[in-house]
Structure 1
Amino acid sequence: MTLQEDGSGRMAIEMDLSEMMAFGGDLMKDSIPKRIDSIISFKQFLEEKKDSIATLPEAEQRKLKKLENYKLHMVIDTDEGTMVFDMFTDFSNVAEANELMNGMQNSSRLMPSMGDTNVSKTEDASGEVFGTSFSFTNDVFKRDAYIIDEAAHKKQLDSMQGMEAFMGSSTYKLKYTFPKKIKEASVEDATFSLDGKTIVIERSFTAYIRNPDVLDLEVILENE
């Protein structure tokens, strides 16, 4: 996330699935295009799939509607073993960023199927398990992650046990860039840019799934 002084900014989520492609071997490589480097507009995608979307439950349609202003940069190269999805959107204030983050979390289930003609698979997607809230007031930024559905979270933990070998090396990295230098941060092992305006936090993906609080953050900026 990049924040401006007026609270506006850009939010992006990058998913590097290169390791998953390597794990899938030739079978997975044969099932995806050999090479892609393109930017997809969700608004255009939703318009093209509107007939399929119209058959979904109202709740699912509303979730998809929230994705209209997102764009997705897809980079796939099976020869190089690269598969990266970068989804981004702009926001006018931090309150709007809260809604956008929820939309991004919903859309992560849709990303691998962007090339499919059938959108109905989202009907079977589970509800939201995690939520994230942001605040940015008086040079203090806060990120708070929390569990929305305890039952769904327990199911997620149970299903994760069989995937630990695959997910063991996966990481969840947060990168925040601010308009001023960072004075204090609540995470002791964070790394900072040379200009002092960017903070990076990294945790194992399995640690985050077990307890989303491991990526909670409070940042105090210098009062220039």
Structure 2
Amino acid sequence: MKSKFLLLLTFLVVLVGCNFTENIDVQPDGSGTFAIEVDGGGFLAMAGDKLGNELGMKNNAKAIDSTFSFKQIFEEKKDSIAKLAPEQQEAIKKLENFVMKIKMNPETQQLLFSMNTPFKKVNDLGGLMEGVSALKDLKGKSEKNSNPAAMLEGMNNAQLSFNYDGKSFVRKAIVSKEALSKINADSTGMAKMIFASSKYTLRYHFPKAVKSVSNPDAMFSADRKTITVEYPFTDYSENPEKLNLNVVFE
């Protein structure tokens, strides 16, 4: 059933626009949680019955509410992982604490997916996208449609790094020449059409009030401890550097 969940998520990302949210919640001691959330309610409204058939759902089991970890998936794929290069295995290991959750209810047109992990310090979040890229090299049963990385297609075009020292927060994306070439080659093709109606949102919560943000489009909560930045997904996939941030605290 896990592979069917992953197949569902592949359909979700590939067939229709969705809303993606990148959440970081930083606690006073510098630890916190990181999460990627996907809202695909529009997709479910369009293809709910067909999706249910793809998942083998019965008439009396229309809703799905499931949680499982990457660690479980990696255990199942340990033989394939062992065949990867050492640096790829190390990158994948950074993902093992992620927990995947999916809620689907055709009657209420709800389809929510999240992938979250705790962290001890914000700087540890660097390299997550490299781990996603390494997942794509898994072979055997982990083909494209049942690969955990498939759901994040279009989100791993850059190397992400984060830095937090209590006085400031920095999110930096560096796009590789290879990824940029691939993006440009398809800039007027299917990928652009797929994500034209999608949004990518950054929502970061800090233990201190924010004094300033480098991005002029950032919105603040009433206590100025939460900032939100929203972009069309094509902006993120074609130019991840647009979502770079420099945050200074009061």
2:66 equivalent among 35, 38, 56? 38
The code of the aligned residue for 1:27 comes to K
For residues 170 and 215 of structure 2, the distance between their equivalents in structure 1, rounded to whole angstroms, comes to 12
Instruction: Show the counterpart of 2:15.
Output: none
Q: Is the 8 A contact 1:52 1:118 kept in 2?
A: no
Instruction: Show the counterpart of 1:165.
Output: 193
Instruction: Show the counterpart of 2:39.
Output: 16
Deviation at 1:167, TM superposition (A): 1.7
Any gaps of 5 or more consecutive residues in structure 1?
A: 111-116
Q: Is the 8 A contact 2:206 2:226 kept in 1?
A: yes
Q: 1:98 to 1:31 in 2, by over 3 A?
A: same
Deviation at 1:220, TM superposition (A): 0.7
Of structures 1 and 2, the one with the larger relative CO (CA 8 A, separation 6+) is 2
For residues 85 and 167 of structure 1, the distance between their equivalents in structure 2, rounded to whole angstroms, comes to 17
> Alpha-carbon deviations, 1:45-94, whole Å to 9, x = none?
3223434545x533654443332211111112233333221111111112
Aligned-pair identity (%): 37
The code of the aligned residue for 2:39 comes to D
Q: Is the 8 A contact 2:91 2:128 kept in 1?
A: no
Instruction: Show the counterpart of 1:114.
Output: none
- Pick which of 186-195 and 74-83 moved more: 74-83
Q: Is the 8 A contact 1:135 1:143 kept in 2?
A: yes
Instruction: Show the counterpart of 2:26.
Output: 3
1:214 equivalent among 212, 224, 242? 242
- Pick which of 86-95 and 75-84 moved more: 75-84
1:74 aligns with 2:97: no
Q: Is the 8 A contact 1:7 1:94 kept in 2?
A: yes
TM-score, scaled relative to structure 2: 0.72
Q: Is the 8 A contact 2:157 2:237 kept in 1?
A: no
Q: Is the 8 A contact 1:157 1:209 kept in 2?
A: no
1:83 aligns with 2:106: no
Q: Is the 8 A contact 2:91 2:127 kept in 1?
A: no
Deviation at 1:208, TM superposition (A): 1.4
Q: Is the 8 A contact 1:53 1:119 kept in 2?
A: no
For residues 107 and 81 of structure 2, the distance between their equivalents in structure 1, rounded to whole angstroms, comes to 34
1:151 equivalent among 169, 178, 184? 178
Matching of residues 17-166 of structure 1 within 5 Å: 17-22=40-45, 24=47, 26-32=49-55, 33=57, 34-51=62-79, 53-54=81-82, 56-58=83-85, 61-100=89-128, 102-103=130-131, 105-106=132-133, 118-121=141-144, 122=147, 129-148=157-176, 150-159=177-186, 161-166=189-194
The code of the aligned residue for 2:222 comes to L
Q: 1:177 to 1:155 in 2, by over 3 A?
A: same
Q: Is the 8 A contact 1:130 1:145 kept in 2?
A: yes
RMSD of aligned Cα (Å): 3.2
Q: 1:159 to 1:82 in 2, by over 3 A?
A: farther
Q: 1:135 to 1:61 in 2, by over 3 A?
A: closer
For residues 72 and 169 of structure 1, the distance between their equivalents in structure 2, rounded to whole angstroms, comes to 24
Deviation at 1:16, TM superposition (A): 2.1
